[in-house]
Amino acid sequence: MAKRKRKTQKKKPLTAFQIFFLGIVTGLALYWIPLDHDFSPAQFSENPIAAPVSVFAKHPPITAPLIEREGYTLAYDGRTRNAHWVYHKLTAEGLEKKTSRTDCEFQEDPLIPKHIRATKKDYQGSGLDRGHLCPAADSPSQTAMEESFFLTNIAPQAPSFNRGYWKKLEKHIRELTKHYPIVHIFSGPLYRKIKGRNGKHYVKYEVIGKQDVAVPTHFFALIFVEPPSKKMQVKGYILPNKSISSKVSLSKFLVPVEEIESASGVLFTQILSPTKT
């Protein structure tokens, strides 16, 4: 026997009344669903802050805390737990002052909140040195010497670099005071890009300790000298944070000031030519 084909009935479209009624039912259902506490306005009452409403107009967020000490000034980067830059100046007279690092110890900087502060434990077992940015040997007083050991003036350096070529550069800068009355130095860490196997560029660096202290890929030194009767002169260097043979000429690492500014994001020469664009 041949089977009869069943006729398929087309569904009738919803009427305007049915759509209206369905909307009401859906709305009531959503109204009675318990809201996630994160989306409740009541949660803000749990975290009161004793500050006036206009606080942000007068006190914007602090992007780079500035620290001024007897021997140096620095701008701090809370993301990397290192300084953006450290500034200090040298004179022949200042280098003649007697100082001793015998009783000096590395220490956390109390001026930086604990949750963005490097600690001595972060360096333990890392295989890296606690490298000075403003050298201890450049300290014009014993107080300045002791303050140079705050970890805000320190950055992770490869031991062979810290005790080798970086130390050689520091000595060279001190020698400049024999030829110039004042030598101004900015130094700091850099995190430079590398090219991956896929041809794309990446910024990659190691972090150490519980505080995730960043290990710079490079360091820069920007040196301004004041000749007796001429305009300020400047030289800039970028060095990789790794072992460098002492036979390598310092000129190999000489770079334009703009390259250091581009890599660091800091406009150092604006203090000399503020109208520069």
Torsion, Cα 48 51 57 62, to 10 degrees, reads -80
Contact 191, 264 (CB under 8 A): no
With beta carbons less than 8 A apart as the criterion, state whether 178 and 91 touch. Answer: no
Per DSSP, the three-state class of 118 is coil
Q: How many CA atoms lie within 13 A of 147 on its CB side?
A: 19
Contacts of 78 (CB under 8 A, 6+ apart): 65, 112, 116
Among the options 84, 88, 132, 184, which is catalytic?
132
Clarify whether 184 is annotated catalytic.
no
Rounded Cα–Cα distance for residues 258 and 266 (Å): 10
Residue entry with tokens 């004793």: 50
* DSSP state for residue 51 in the 8-state scheme: -
41 in helix, strand or coil?
helix
Q: Which residues are catalytic?
A: 132
